[in-house]
Amino acid sequence: MKKFCYAGLLFLLIAGCQSKIPGNIIQPDKMGAILYDIHVTDAYITTLASQDSAKKVSAAYYKGIYQKFDTDSAGYTQSMNFYAEHPDLLSKIYETVTASLKKSKDSIDKVNEKILKAKTAKRAKAVKDSLAKIDPKVLKIEADKKAKKTKDSLEKTKPAVIKPVVIKKVKKERILKRKTQLTTAKTDKEVKES
């Protein structure tokens, strides 16, 4: 029983030593939402080409974020300093921010995928419609022209040029085969004599 009491007392001491978030610090849930908006804004600002316009736009966006969450830059900075001194709390906040950013990215990717599929289907339909407008007789004439071209190009090749090459190749193969047979016969004879 004494051990149980000591363990309980130790637990109370540890729980009492943990830092509590002061009232002037932005609470973790609200801080996570602010950080989410700030990171989205930062991502947008990096897409701007001009440094001057990026500075002007960023100031307006940050001011809008602070107004949205009923705080100011001083309160935000003070809260970030507090959470920087308590990395365990900041880590938990960033876990939720990261999860929210990933969820947003996934939903944007799904929308972009749907848009791409719709554009691809629209293009395929346009091609199909344009092919349907072409007269089948015109398509047959074009196919016949291609077939005739292929036939003409095959007829232009000279069989006399092809034939000697084939004959030379066959003769070489026969000569190599005969040499191989003679070589194996000699080695067989030498093996029998020894």
Q: Which residues of 18-42 are buried (b: 16+ CB within 10 A; e: fewer)?
A: eeeeeeebbebeebbbbbbbbeebe
Count of helices and strands (H, E) across the chain? 7, 0
Per residue in 79-94, pLDDT (tens digit) is 999 999 999 999 999 9
**Radius of gyration of the chain, Cα coordinates, nearest whole angstrom:** 41
Per residue in 57-79, pLDDT (tens digit) is 888 899 999 999 999 999 999 99
162 vs 172: CA distance, rounded Å: 16
Most confident of 55-59, 91-95, 175-179: 91-95
56 vs 49: CA distance, rounded Å: 13
Banded model confidence at residue 154, pLDDT cuts 50, 70, 90: low
